[in-house]
Structures are given as C-alpha cells and as structure tokens.
C-alpha cells in the first residue's frame, strides 16, 4: 500500500511544506510551498516571527490538500531549543531566537547551581549557550511563573493544528532537561523551573491528534498530525543512506551537525571535552554529534556584502573561490554565533593569531569553506573515535550537499569519500516516519535508509592527494 503525507519543515531562513508519496519502492517529494523566515529584532531582543511561520505552514497545507486530497498525515519539524510560553492556550510573546545574547545571563545562573560536567552526566548535552535550560534561566521569573506551558517550536505548531500540547522526545532532548528519555524532575526542581510548564512527552510515530475541527474546513482536508523526529536534525539523520557502524554524517545547512549514530549515550569525559552532544534520535537511537558553525558564517558574510550594496551571486562566488588559496580560521569561535558583520570578525580572528587575513571576496569565501571543511573532517574523526565507530565514509545531507567545493574539500581534508545527498533529507525523514506510522512502508531505520538509497543516489567525492 502506498500513500501521501505532508511535511512542514521550518528552517532558520525559510519554511516549506512538502508532500511525500511513499510506497515499498517509492519515495517522492514535491514542495508545495516555501516561505521566508525573517527574524525580527525588537527593543527586547531577537525573535522569531512565529505567526507568519504558522500562516505560511497553514497556507502550504491548503495547497497540499488542493493538489492531493488523499493526504493521510501531517508532520512538523523545526530547529531545536526555542519555545513559546503559553497561559490558558494563549502565547505570551514571540519566541526568542537562540542567537539572542540574553542567554549569557542564564548560563551563569545555571552553572552556579550545577556546573556543566554535572549537567552533562545527566543530560549528555554539549555546552551550547542557547540550550533551553539556559533560556529558561534567562526568562523574567514573573513571566515564567505566570506561564502554564512551554512548547518547543514544532510542538507549538502541532498544538495550533490539533489543540494537543505535547513535547516530542527528539527535540525535548535539546532542552537539557531530559534524562534517559524522561523529564529529569530532580534537575527541573534544582533549576527552579516550574514543572507544570513541561508537557507530557510523545515519541516519533505516535499520533498527536486530528486537525482541529475548525481547521479542516479552512484547509480543505482532514488528516492526523503524527509526531515525527520534530528536531530537524533528527529527521535528517533518519534519511541519511548510511550504515551507522561505518559512517559519519553531516547535516549541513545553517549549522553543520557532524556525528555518528549510536545505541546508547556516550557520557565519557572524552565526549564532554570534545564538545559532543547526545541528542535523542528516532527509534531511541542516539545522535552523538558536534555542532559546527555551518553555512551560517558564509550566508551572514554574503548578507553583510549585500547590505553594503554589492550584488553577490553565490554560485559565481563559489566558482571564483575554487580558483584561489586562503588560510583557515576556527569557525567555531563563539564570536561567529550572533548575527552581524562576519568579515570584521574574521579579520579580527586573523589579526589576533598573527596571520594575514583574506583580501578579496573570493578569498573570504574560500577561507570560510576551507575552515568548515577542516572543522567537518575533525569532528567526523572525533565522532568515530568517541563513539567507537569505524568511520570509512562521510555522508553530507541538506543544502550543503549542493556545495561541491565544500564536499570535495571535506573529502580531501578527511581523506575519506564523501557521499553528498539527499539535499532534502530533513523533509524525507519527516515523511518517512509518518509513512511508516500510516503503514505505507514498514521496518527499521535501516529499511527506511535502504529506500532512500534506492531512490536518491548520492554524488560521490573521492579524496584527492
């Protein structure tokens, strides 16, 4: 039996609605809507425009039903860690963007009560200043006390679609408040977080609920909303056509999430010291990975040039970059996290390290790509060592799979073949988990990945001397 499902996939720069057609030998996707995600800086910080994202998602669902009356299920994924606070079902304000610097105060407050090594022993998370537990600690305590629930971005969209408030497990793992897959009540209490704001957990593949009665007429169709790997990276990893015992993956978009898939969390000192995180995956797998800064540094650099009046065409810029040499810098330096003028920050990094900075735009682009490739190669090697996986190839999925220079240089710098694609891994992973729940396809993650491999042939980059 085959059938169709719809995936809502919200990314840091755009959102999409994709219809997937799935059967034993079929895995096809068509994008029915794409809308921009434009964060808004207000007097109190950097926010996501969540209502415009919800409007884009529902307009996309309307289009999906118009084109495919038989959609059986809807799944939502988005970036991790961010949330909306609600009281009696009403949103108390636009969610903060994880790149808003307010989290620094939260980090200090949390670490006063529990330093990172003690936290890591419980939640297995890499220290990232925007993990949800630090954001909660940075909230105005009166607002937190007033709220009766906190919903991560995909859970919030799911709530608006169904009226059901739940916390999907893969994304909940990025809050820092899960221990062995359940809310860590002891930690929640120790950090003074009101326990009532954390909703009941739900796992990928479980039904969240039917579309609200009021919505079905508006959208022109009815379907069940199914929990997927609602953390976008969890969905992407589902659709990596890899053998987990022999490969590393890089989910490369705004971020480069570099890691291996393991059966159990790795809570060793080596994992913590190397900045690895144990995020929850679909089917209880663990995503042992490191956040590498990703294409953000390049896109933010291009944005700075465009703002200064230069017309930049990315493919031409990358073609020119392939022809020049450039030095590398540490892309994971925290100075590159907030939005802003990346070129001056890159210059400052080189000045502090007594090295000449790039001069032309092509050299800057090359320097960023080379630095990313090196960070990817290092993280893939570390992931293999720490996770006990004999990494013999690297899979790059997501938008970065289209960047031939980055893929080739990752192969060169790691000495390993790089298999690039699918570009739309996140949407495919979202679609596959729904399709399995609906009975359109069966089996383990391995069977789902085999279907991806049969239908989406990767582009292979062999390492050059």
Task: Phi first, then psi: give them for residue 249, nearest 5 degrees.
Answer: -125, 155
CB neighbourhood size of 225 (10 A): 24
CA atoms within 13 A on the CB side of 223: 31
Q: Which stretch binds ligand LRH (CB under 6 A): 67-75, 79-87, 162-170, 411-419?
A: 79-87
Query: What sign does the CA torsion over 53, 55, 57, 63 have?
Result: negative
DSSP conformation class of 98: T
**Least separation in angstroms between CB 229 and ligand LRH:** 11
- DSSP annotation string for 363-429: HHHHHHHHHHHHHHHHHHHHHHHHHT----EEEEESGGGG-HHHHHHHHHHHTS-EEE--TTHHHHH
Near ligand LRH by CB under 6 A: residue from 96, 120, 255, 296: 255
Footprint on residues 373-402 left by ligand LRH (CB under 6 A): none
Smallest gap from residue 429 Cβ to ligand LRH (A): 13
Cα separation, 5 vs 430, whole angstroms: 9
Instruction: Return the structure tokens found at 345.
Output: 């920050």
Q: Look at the block and give the residue holding tokens 């002891």.
A: 186
Taking alpha carbons only, the member of 220, 208, 227 closest to residue 165 is 208
How far is 234 from 249, CA to CA, in rounded Å?
12
Which residue reads 């979202």 in tokens?
Answer: 430
Residue list 87-106, contact with ligand LRH (CB under 6 A)? 98
- Closest approach of ligand LRH to the CB of residue 82, in Å: 7
79 contributes a contact to ligand LRH by CB under 6 A: yes
In the stretch 127-156, what mask flags binding to ligand LRH with x, by CB under 6 A?
Answer: ------------------------------
Per CB under 6 A, does 300 bind ligand LRH?
Answer: no
65 binds ligand LRH (CB under 6 A): no
- Find the shortest distance in angstroms from Cβ 380 to ligand LRH: 16
Beta bridge partners of 207: 226
The residue with tokens 């307009």 is 59
Does residue number 80 form part of the binding site for ligand LRH (CB under 6 A)?
yes
Q: Which is nearer to ligand LRH, 281 or 358 (CB)?
A: 281
Residues within window 223-252 making contact with ligand LRH, judged by CB under 6 A = 231-233
> Omega into 422 within 30° of 0, i.e. cis?
yes
Position among 18, 19, 57, 81 found at the interface with ligand LRH (CB under 6 A): 81
Show the beta-strand stretches assigned E in 162-255. Answer: 167-168, 178-179, 182-183, 201-202, 207-210, 224-226, 247-252
Catalytic residue among 77, 100, 232, 332: 232
The nearest distance, CB 126 to ligand LRH, in angstroms, is: 9
Nearest Cα to 419, choosing from 453, 458, 373? 458
x/- track of binding to ligand LRH for residues 274-293 (CB under 6 A): -----------------x--
Distance of closest approach, residue 10 Cβ to ligand LRH, in angstroms? 9
Three-state secondary structure call for residue 4: strand
CA distance 264 to 294: 26
Alpha-carbon span 167 to 95, nearest angstrom: 16
Q: How far is the CB of 29 from ligand LRH (least distance, A)?
A: 19
Out of 64, 238, 257, 445, point to the residue binding ligand LRH (CB under 6 A): 257
Distance, CA of 387 to CA of 154 (rounded, Å): 29
- Binding of ligand LRH by 430 (CB under 6 A): no
Pick the stretch among 78-86, 261-269, 340-348, 354-362 that binds ligand LRH (CB under 6 A): 78-86
Whether residue 82 lies in the annotated active site: no
Does residue 18 have a cis bond before it (omega within 30 degrees)?
no
Question: Which residue, 254 or 278, has its beta carbon nearer to ligand LRH?
Answer: 254
Residue 123 or 291 having the CB closest to ligand LRH = 291
SS3 231: strand
**Phi, psi torsion values for 218, nearest 5 degrees:** -65, -40
Q: What are the Cα distances from residue 378, in Å, to 285, 316, 382?
A: 23, 28, 6
Q: Which is nearer to ligand LRH, 4 or 277 (CB)?
A: 277
Region from 30-38, 253-261, 318-326, 441-449 binding ligand LRH, contact rule CB under 6 A = 253-261
The stretch among 16-24, 52-60, 73-81, 450-458 that binds ligand LRH (CB under 6 A) is: 73-81
Question: Which CB sits closer to ligand LRH, 116 or 212?
Answer: 116
| Selected range binding ligand LRH among 13-21, 37-45, 76-84, 350-358, rule: CB under 6 A | 76-84
**Phi and psi (nearest 5°) for 14?**
-155, 160
Contact map string, positions 1 to 40, toward ligand LRH, x by CB under 6 A? -----------x----------------------------
Active centre residues (catalytic): 232
- Which residues contribute to the site for ligand LRH (CB under 6 A)? 12, 79-81, 98, 231-233, 254-255, 257, 291
């Amino acid at each position: 039996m085959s059938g169709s499902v719809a995936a809502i996939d919200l990314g840091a720069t755009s959102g999409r609605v994709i219809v997937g057609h799935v059967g034993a030998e079929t895995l096809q996707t068509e994008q029915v809507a794409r809308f921009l995600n434009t964060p808004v800086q207000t007097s109190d910080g950097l926010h996501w425009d969540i209502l415009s994202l919800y409007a884009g998602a529902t307009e996309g669902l309307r289009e999906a039903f118009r084109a495919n009356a038989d959609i059986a299920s809807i799944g939502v994924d988005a970036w991790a860690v961010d949330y909306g606070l609600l009281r009696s079902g009403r949103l108390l304000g636009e969610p903060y963007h994880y790149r808003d610097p307010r989290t620094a105060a939260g980090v200090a407050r949390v670490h006063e009560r529990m330093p990172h090594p003690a936290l890591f022993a419980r939640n297995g998370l890499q220290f990232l200043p925007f993990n949800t537990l630090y954001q909660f600690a940075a909230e105005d305590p009166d607002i937190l006390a007033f709220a009766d629930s906190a919903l991560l971005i995909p859970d919030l969209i799911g709530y608006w679609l169904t009226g059901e408030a739940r916390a999907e497990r893969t994304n909940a793992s990025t809050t820092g408040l899960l221990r062995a897959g359940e809310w860590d009540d002891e930690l929640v209490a120790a950090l003074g977080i009101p326990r009532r704001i954390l909703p009941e957990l739900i796992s990928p593949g479980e039904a969240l609920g039917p579309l609200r009665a009021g919505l079905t007429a508006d959208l022109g169709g009815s379907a069940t909303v199914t929990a997927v790997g609602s953390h976008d990276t969890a969905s992407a990893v589902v659709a990596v056509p890899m053998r987990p015992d022999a490969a590393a993956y890089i989910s490369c978009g705004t971020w480069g999430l570099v890691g291996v898939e393991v059966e159990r969390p790795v809570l060793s000192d080596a994992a913590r010291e190397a900045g690895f995180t144990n995020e929850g995956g679909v089917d209880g797998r663990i995503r042992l990975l490191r956040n590498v800064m990703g294409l953000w540094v390049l896109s933010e650099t291009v944005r700075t040039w465009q703002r200064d009046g230069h017309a930049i065409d990315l493919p031409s810029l990358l073609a020119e970059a392939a022809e020049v040499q450039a030095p590398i810098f540490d892309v994971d330096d925290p100075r590159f996290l907030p939005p802003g003028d990346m070129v001056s920050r890159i210059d400052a990094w080189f000045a502090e390290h007594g090295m000449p900075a790039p001069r032309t735009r092509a050299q800057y682009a090359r320097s960023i790509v080379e630095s990313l490739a090196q960070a990817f190669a290092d993280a893939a090697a570390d992931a293999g060592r720490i996770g006990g996986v004999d990494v013999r190839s690297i899979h790059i999925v997501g938008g970065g799979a289209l960047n031939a220079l980055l893929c080739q240089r990752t192969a060169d710098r790691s000495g390993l073949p790089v298999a690039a694609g699918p570009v739309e891994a996140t949407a495919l992973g979202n679609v596959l988990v729904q399709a399995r729940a609906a009975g359109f396809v069966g089996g383990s993650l391995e069977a789902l990945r085999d279907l991806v491999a049969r239908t989406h042939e990767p582009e292979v980059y062999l390492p050059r001397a």
